[in-house]
Amino acid sequence: MHRHQELCERAVDPLEIAAGLEAHGITDRTAARFRHRDVFSLAEEMYARVSRDGDAPTPEAPAAPRARTDWALLTLLPGTLCTAAVAAVHLTHGRSRLFAAAAGTLAVALAFRAALHRGPLSRPDRTVPGRSTTRTSWLVAYALLGNGLLDGAIAGGPDSLPTGTADGPWPLTTTPVLALALACAPAAWTAHLFTARARRKLAASRGLEDFAAAVRPLLFGTFVLFLGALAALLTLCAAVLDEPAAYAETLTLGALLFLARLLTTHGFAYAPAVVLTATATLQAAALAAVFTSRLPGCGFLATPVETLVTTWGAGSVPALACGTAALALLVHATRKLTRASAHAPPEPSR
Q: What is the pLDDT of residue 83?
A: 93
Whole-number percent of the chain with pLDDT over 90: 32
Buried/exposed code over 270-279 (b: 16+ C-beta within 10 A; e: otherwise): ebbbebbbeb
Q: What is the pLDDT of residue 206?
A: 62
* Confidence band of 344 (pLDDT split at 50, 70, 90): low
Rounded Cα–Cα distance for residues 185 and 183 (Å) = 5
Say which residue, 287 or 15, is predicted with more confidence. 287
Residue 306 lies in a domain: yes
Residue 287 lies in a domain: yes
Q: How many residues does the structure list for the chain?
A: 350
Same domain, 104 and 36: no
Rounded Cα–Cα distance for residues 171 and 243 (Å) = 11
311 has a pLDDT exceeding 50: yes
Same domain, 44 and 152: no
307 has a pLDDT exceeding 50: yes
122 has a pLDDT exceeding 90: no
Same domain, 42 and 138: no
What is the residue type of 223? F
What mean pLDDT, rounded, does the chain reach?
A: 83
Q: What is the pLDDT of residue 55?
A: 42
Same domain, 135 and 172: yes
Same domain, 146 and 208: yes
Q: What is the pLDDT of residue 163?
A: 66
Same domain, 10 and 120: no
Same domain, 99 and 198: yes
Say which residue, 63 or 9, is predicted with more confidence. 9
Residues 31-50, mean pLDDT to the nearest whole number: 80
Residue 172 lies in a domain: yes
Same domain, 28 and 93: no
Q: What is the pLDDT of residue 277?
A: 93
Rounded Cα–Cα distance for residues 280 and 189 (Å) = 27
179 has a pLDDT exceeding 90: yes
- Name the burial class of residue 183, with classes exposed (0-12), middle (13-18) and buried (19+) by CB atoms within 10 angstroms of its CB: buried
Say which residue, 275 or 163, is predicted with more confidence. 275
Residues 80-99, mean pLDDT to the nearest whole number: 87
Q: What is the pLDDT of residue 59?
A: 47
Same domain, 89 and 231: yes
> Would you put residue 64 in left (φ > 0), alpha (ψ -120 to 50) or beta?
beta
Residues 175-201, mean pLDDT to the nearest whole number: 91
165 has a pLDDT exceeding 70: no
pTM: 0.78
Same domain, 24 and 146: no
Residues 219-235, mean pLDDT to the nearest whole number: 95
Residue 61 lies in a domain: no
Q: What is the pLDDT of residue 39?
A: 79
Residues 266-276, mean pLDDT to the nearest whole number: 91
Residue 55 lies in a domain: no
Residue 66 lies in a domain: no
Same domain, 183 and 40: no
**Residue-number span of the structural domain to which 112 is assigned:** 71-343
37 has a pLDDT exceeding 80: no
Please enumerate in sequence order all residues whose Cβ is within 8 A of that of 286, keeping only pairs 6 or more positions apart, or say none: 150, 305, 317, 321
* Domain count within the chain: 2
Same domain, 10 and 134: no
Query: Tens of pLDDT along 246-264?
Result: 899 999 999 999 999 999 9
Residues 308-317, mean pLDDT to the nearest whole number: 88
Q: What is the pLDDT of residue 349?
A: 43
Q: What is the pLDDT of residue 131?
A: 54
196 has a pLDDT exceeding 90: no
Residues 32-57, mean pLDDT to the nearest whole number: 72
Residue 349 lies in a domain: no
